Amino acid sequence: MALNYAFKDSILLDLENMENKSIEDASLVIRNGFVNFFSAMNEEKNYIQDSDNMLDIAEASIKRFADSQYKTNTYLEPYEIEHIKKALIDYVNNHEKSGSFKNEIIEDLTAFQKQILTNHKERITELTKEKGIFEKQLRILECNKNQLIMERLSQIVWPYDAKTKEYDQKTAQLQAKIQQYASKIENLKGMRPAANERDILLYTLHLKEKFADK
């Protein structure tokens, strides 16, 4: 619609500037205007085709890599995104303007790669902090138990009873939690960073929202 209005305004302006010109000259202006209009329409069509193709390449490639047959569940690794970017780089544009669109998608995919790596590090940091909370609770618990035992010994009282047994039970529970977190952290450190199914879905929706109408 914007292109139609621009075409009409351009023709009217050219005709207004043609004072005392012949009908043949006016006809030439109109004919040239139509040539330029359809050329612009064809350029716009090529750009739309390019942008649609590149968006399709990105979305289809994400799905193909995430659901590869060798995988037991859906995930996407940063090096796989590098292959997707390469496919976009190799795409031959039909329109000069499409190069800017291509660069924007590639930059967005690069940001997604970085976010995957950041999320992996943040998850390890989060688990380490949670493990540290339980370790602190364990130290306090052991300190309180030792203090209770020392007080009873100073009073020549048998130090072990239901209270110390309760301390031991809580200590065992905390030690088990700490070991669970330690195992989670080690497992996560041993895994390569990857986007899970939810991350992939959210990113695919992001791509459509950001680039579908560009």
Angle at 92 between CA 66 and CA 212, to 5 degrees: 55
Vertex 204 angle, CA 80 and 59, to 5°: 60
Quick: pLDDT tens for 178-190. 999 999 999 999 9
Sign of torsion over alpha carbons 106, 107, 112, 114: positive
**pLDDT per residue as tens digits for the range 128-178:** 999 999 999 999 999 999 999 999 999 988 999 999 999 999 999 999 999
Q: What is the mean pLDDT of the chain?
A: 85
pTM of the full structure: 0.76
What percent of the chain stands above pLDDT 70? 79
pLDDT of residue 17: 54
Cα 81 from Cα 113, distance rounded (Å):
7
**Residue 128, pLDDT score:** 98
* pLDDT higher at 85 or 93: 85
CA atoms of 99 and 37, how far apart (whole Å): 23
Q: pLDDT confidence of 97, banded at 50, 70, 90?
A: confident
- Across residues 71-80, what is the average pLDDT? 96
The band of 41, judged by pLDDT with boundaries at 50, 70 and 90, is: low
Q: Quick one: which of 14, 2, 11 has its CA closest to 34?
A: 11
What is residue 119's predicted lDDT score, i.e. its pLDDT?
A: 97
Would you state the pLDDT for residue 40? Answer: 52
